[in-house]
Amino acid sequence: MEVQRYLNRIGYSGSALPTLETLQQVHRCHMLNVPFENLTTHSGGKTQLDIPWLYDKIVVQRRGGVCYEINGLFSWLLAQLGYQTTILAAQVRSRFTNAYGPPFDHFITMVTLDGHRWLCDVGFGACFEMPLSLETQAPQKQAHGVFRLKRRGDMIFMETSVEAQGETPEGFKDATTEDGITWEGRYKFTLQPRQREEYREMCVYHQTSPCSLFFCKSLCTLLLPHGRITYIGFKLLVTTYPTEEGGSVVKTTQELTAEEIPAILKEKFGIELSSPLIPKDEDIMPPPVRY
């Protein structure tokens, strides 16, 4: 496994010194070049957690993956670059069921640099493009949205501004409004360090449970310089963010046939599957327990 080949895969050509600027740019490049996708589950394969397997899939085969895969390999890269990393576990709030998932639902990484803690997450799909500071609860504005890390006791909630996504607050359950901004919870976590082995059970769960988005829907999504492109089921969704102040977010939807999907995956995401994809877009069952 070669660090430079990994950096080439994500299109990063800057300094490899473990500075904040390197962390920010490596994170952003990863978001722009490695899709968040669960296509292995829907093409006859199984997701694994071993670093060499992840390296081969993401770097050599130029695929993407779910959080356990992308963030799992990204945390390895950061450690190789010299960063102090801590693996954390998060519980994701489903926009389909409005419930938080079980513990170890999501794999995230904390980087401690010069006494400052940063949340890194390149494996969530529509999320922040550069690390978020864990030292503040104030809004953190980026090109693709406004985010904040809200503390409630030991729990930290990663939230995003509904308005910054081009949405209106109506219809968002459990959202909160403060100072004229409506915040939607995305996931919650604590700062308790975790080990890779602790995620194996949930990795199987997301490939087999009707309560999981990843089992019920085939999907692939990638950050664009001025938006996001998403394949899900039999649809292609494109979101374009304004390049000037006061502009509007534009969203388009294209219906796809099963025969069109492989070409779309290759053209838009650079993905060629070794086995046929079975497109899927089924309703997600609410989890039996609300966490």
Of 30, 42, 106, 144, catalytic: 106
Of 27, 30, 42, 67, catalytic: 67
Of 42, 121, 144, 220, catalytic: 121
Token pair of 289 as six digits: 């327990």
Please report, for the chain, the start and end positions of each structural domain, with discontinuous segments joined by +.
3-197
Residue 109, classified by CB atoms within 10 Å of its CB into exposed (0-12), middle (13-18) or buried (19+), is buried
Cα dihedral 130→134→139→145 (10° resolution):
20
Note the pTM of the prediction, 2 decimals.
0.93
Q: State residue 169's pLDDT score.
A: 55
Q: Please indicate whether residue 121 is annotated as part of the active site.
A: yes
Confidence of residue 143 (pLDDT cuts 50, 70, 90): confident
Residue position matching structure tokens 């664009």 = 224
Confidence of residue 173 (pLDDT cuts 50, 70, 90): low
Whether residue 161 contacts residue 172, with contact meaning beta carbons closer than 8 Å, is answered with no
Token pair of 212 as six digits: 């999981």
Query: Which distant-in-sequence residues (6+ apart) come within 8 Å of 12 by Cβ?
Result: 25, 26, 29
Q: What gap in Å lies between CA 237 and CA 67, rounded to an integer?
A: 21
The CATH code for residues 3-197 is 3.30.2140.20
C-alpha to C-alpha distances, 84 to 18, 49, 79, 109, 114, nearest whole angstrom: 9, 21, 6, 10, 10
Residue 149 has pLDDT above 60, yes or no: yes
Residue 99 has pLDDT above 90, yes or no: no
Neighbours of 201 (CB within 10 A): 11
Among 64-78, 95-109, 239-253, the minimum mean pLDDT is found in: 239-253
Q: State residue 245's pLDDT score.
A: 72
Q: Please indicate whether residue 144 is annotated as part of the active site.
A: no
Q: Please indicate whether residue 30 is annotated as part of the active site.
A: no
